[in-house]
A = this chain, B = another copy of it.
Amino acid sequence: MNESEFIAALRKLPLHPGARGLEDDCAVLTIGGETLVITHDMMAEDTHFLSHADMADVAWKLLAANLSDLAAKGAGPIGVLLGHSLGSDDARFLAGLDEGLRTYGVPIMGGDTVATTGTSTYGMTAIGRAAHLPVPSRKGAQPGDGIHVTGPVGRAMLGFEGDEDHLQAFNRPVPRLAEGIALAPHVSAMMDISDGLLLDCWRMAWVSGVTLAIDSAVVPVASRPRMQECMRWGDDYELLFTAPEGAALPVPAFRIGTVRPRGSAPLLLDEAPLADPANLGYRHG
């Protein structure tokens, strides 16, 4: 099975109402009058990082990817649980994790370690507290809404390629926690851009039952000549959101298009319909 087939099959199992049909980045759990936001992300050697990567960066990115999911739901982190494969440079992994935890003020709550015989896989569960209700979802973009991103895409791509100016963007991505919390009351839909802007726009449009019309000329990219690649590369962790026309946004953001009623395709790029999510971004598995 590929990832899409697996998730489709998983949807037939008993689902918690807070699972949001497995269509969102996080689960939402209302308990004791509070609302928790819970996410689990994994990173696998060869798929998400290479064996010669600095394990401090791998740990940072594992944390950042999880916190980015909380950010996209407007949640502040409470803590994380770590699923750790022993055997790589564990001391460097712990150093990078420590740095990330202290940077974002997040404590470890628990976890598990395993010895693996092959490549290493790391997992993390992040638990946050929703700062605003309802918790923003991917599903909620309305025709007429503006489409926005919090920053440029393609920086991680350039960093991956060795561009000194963008190494940090690739190795130490920044989860947009403060932005997510500030934006939550103003958005109709929100998610983080982990797998590529166009693919994530397609996904938001798909679950919202609308069309996202993107104007590439105004998409903030790290490299204008390589705009098409920038819009398809992942790992930038900016926030993608829609908000009613004229909404007073509390943080700087770039307007990249407008939501329309569902047309011939979930995504229009410069008016060209993109019906198939293949080749729009990075798809794991």
Contacts and interface: CB of A to CB of B under 8 A. Distances in A.
Q: Place the interface of chain A in its size category.
A: 35 or more
A85 B36 CA distance: 26
A125 interface: yes
Contact of A101 (B13, B29, B123): B13
Contacts of A114: 42-44, 47-48, 121, 284-285
B91 A9 contact: yes
Interface stretch (A74-82, A143-151, A260-268, A271-279): A74-82
B14 A117 contact: no
A165 to B, nearest CB: 30
A94 B31 contact: no
A9 B39 CA distance: 25
A10 to B, nearest CB: 7
Interface stretch (A19-27, A175-183, A208-216, A238-246): A19-27
A125 B40 contact: yes
Contacts of A125: 38, 40, 81, 125
B110 A22 contact: yes
A229 interface: no
Q: So how many copies of this chain end up in the complex?
A: 2
A112 interface: yes
Contacts of A48: 114
A118 interface: yes
Given A113-B6, A118-B118, A38 B81 contact: yes
Interface string A66-99: 0000000000001101111110001100100110
Contact of A285 (B1, B18, B32, B86): B86
A109 interface: yes
Contacts of A249: none
Contact of A108 (B13, B39, B90, B110): B13
B3 A115 contact: yes
Nearest to A24: B110
Interface of A: 1-3, 6-7, 9-10, 12-16, 18-19, 22, 26-27, 29, 31-34, 36, 38-48, 78-79, 81-86, 90-91, 94, 97-98, 101-102, 105-119, 121, 123, 125, 127, 129, 284-285
9 contacts: A3-B115, A6-B113, A16-B107, A29-B79, A31-B34, A40-B110, A42-B113, A44-B117, A118-B118
